[in-house]
Amino acid sequence: MSNVARGGFREDLGIYVRSKMEANVLRYYKFIKVKYVYEPQEFEFHKIKRGSRFYKPDIYLFEQNKFIEIKGWFTASDKTKLRRFKKYYPEEFVKLEFIIPDKYSRSKANGEMIKFLCDGLGTDFEKILSYKQMEEYSKLIPNWE
């Protein structure tokens, strides 16, 4: 997955995305005919005066009524946004699932991501999806990067 963070306009999707991982996840959902909207809404943290004041999930899946956050890694700002989203919008946070590069990797970085999601946010391990599993369809999906 070289150059994962390459954002830009994707002709086949008709939108600007922030990374090739996001673009490929959207292509995957399109391929399996799941209705979605990219960056569906922005949640504001009204009482916050400094730092991360907004959070925007990457995808909303209509039929499943859930949000998807795609993460190759977590910055300190990402962690703050997610903690605040859980605190200020708990009814929406329970609809949030995560896609990370490889749910089952034994790498230190992956372990830290899982620890933050499960221990730091209280996310159920089943709500963490693996991009690596989606990559298995890459040869079938047009324009996969």
Q: Report yes or no on 3 lying in a domain.
A: no
CATH number at residue 33: 3.40.1350
Beta-strand relationship, 59-61 and 66-70? antiparallel
User: Which structural domain, as residue segments, surrounds residue 41?
Assistant: 8-135
Q: What is the pTM of this model?
A: 0.92
pLDDT tens series, the chain, 145 aa:
444 578 999 999 999 999 999 999 999 999 999 999 999 999 999 988 888 899 999 999 999 999 999 999 899 999 999 999 999 999 999 999 999 999 999 899 889 999 999 999 999 999 999 999 999 999 999 999 9
Q: Is residue 101 part of a domain?
A: yes
Question: Is the residue at 64 inside a domain?
Answer: yes
Residue 63 maps to a domain: yes
- Is residue 142 assigned to a domain? no
21 domain residue, yes or no? yes
Domain count, the chain: 1
